[in-house]
Amino acid sequence: MANLIDLKGETPRLRHPEKQARPDSPVQRKPDWIRVKAPGSKGYSETREIVKSKGLVTVCEEASCPNIGECWDKKHATMMILGEVCTRACSFCNVSTGKPPAGVDEDEPRRVAEAVAEMGLQHVVITSVDRDDLVDGGAMHFVNTIESIRAASPGTTIEILTPDFLRKDGWETRVIDAKPDVFNHNLETVPRLYLSIRPGARYFHSLRLLQKVKDRDPNQFTKSGLMVGLGETKEEVMQVMDDMRSAGVDFLTIGQYLQPTRKHAPIDRFVTPDEFRSYEEIARAKGFLVVSATPLTRSSHHAGEDFARLRAAREALNASRVSGKSA
C-alpha cells in the first residue's frame, strides 16, 4: 500500500469557510426555460485568453454566471476589481469569501483599461468584491479604473456595479464624481430577507446610496437589481420597485436566483417566464426607463444594448416634456 505525503504542508483554501458548518440544502433541478449551453466557442476562448493574459478577474467566472458562454462569445466580460476575496458572507453569492490580502493591486486599473481597449468594447461593466478592510472601501480604486479606461479607450461608455460603501464616511462621493455613465448598486432582495440573504448589508443604506447618486448628479443613470425565487412575495417586490423609484432609479433588472452550492441559500421556487413578464409590465408602469426581467437576467447581461435603450428612453422622455411645455 502506498502512502501519500503532502510535501508542501499546505491545506487548500476553502472558497466559503463561513458556510462549512451549514447543513446541506437540496439543489433543485432546473426547469427547461433556465438551461443554457456549456461555453466553448471561439469567441469565448479568445475573451478568456485576453482576461487571463492580463491577470484579471471577472465576476462572470467567480459568480458562476449562466450567461458566460453567450457574453464571452461577443467579447463582453464584466471585470471584477479589488481582488477575488470578498469580506462579506452573502448566502446567495459564489464569490470567494474571507480575509483578502492587504492593500490593492495598484497596477490593476491599467491592465483593465488595456483589456477594454484590446477587446474594442463600446460599453464595459466594472464591479468588485466588498472590501470592508479598506478605509475607503475601494472607492479610489474604482476612480482610478474609470480614469484609466477613459484614457485608453475614450469612446467606451462605463458602467460600474459597486459595493455599498457601508461605514466609509462619504468615500462613495468620489466614485459618483468620477462620472461613470451608469452607477449600479443592487438591492438584491426584499428587506424581510436581508438578515438571511445579505446579512452584512443594510437595505436602507443601499437605497440611500442610489438616491445620493441622483442628488449629486441628476444626469447620471442609476440601476439596481433583484433576485427572485428566494421566498419573497409579489407584493414585497412591488414595494421595492416603489422604493427604487422614490430614489430615482432609472433601470431595474430582475432575474431568477440560482443556488451555487448545497451550502448556499436554497431556492424557494423557480419563477415562471409569465411571472417575469408581469413584473416587467408592473415596473414599466411605475416609471422605470428600462426594465429587464427574465429568468436569466443578470446585472450586466446585455449591458451594452441596454445602455443604448436607456439613453434612447431618456431622450424620448425629455423630448416629450419639451413638446408638452410648448403645446
Binding-site residues, in ranges, read 60, 65, 71, 86, 90, 93, 300
Pairwise CA distance, residues 206 & 71, whole Å: 28
Do the Cβ atoms of 100 and 133 come closer than 8 Å? yes
Q: Which of 120, 124, 116 is nearest to 184 (CA)?
A: 124
Which residues make Cβ contacts (< 8 Å) with residue 308, sequence separation at least 6?
A: none
In terms of Cβ atoms closer than 10 Å to its own Cβ (0-12, 13-18, 19+), residue 48 is middle
Specify binding-site residues for [4Fe-4S] cluster.
60, 65, 71, 86, 90, 93, 300
Q: How many contiguous H segments (helices) and E segments (strands) does the chain have?
A: 11, 7
Do the Cβ atoms of 72 and 60 come closer than 8 Å? yes
Q: Which of 165, 169, 174 is nearest to 143 (CA)?
A: 174
Pairwise CA distance, residues 182 & 20, whole Å: 36
Q: In this structure, what C-alpha cell is assigned to residue 160?
A: 460600474
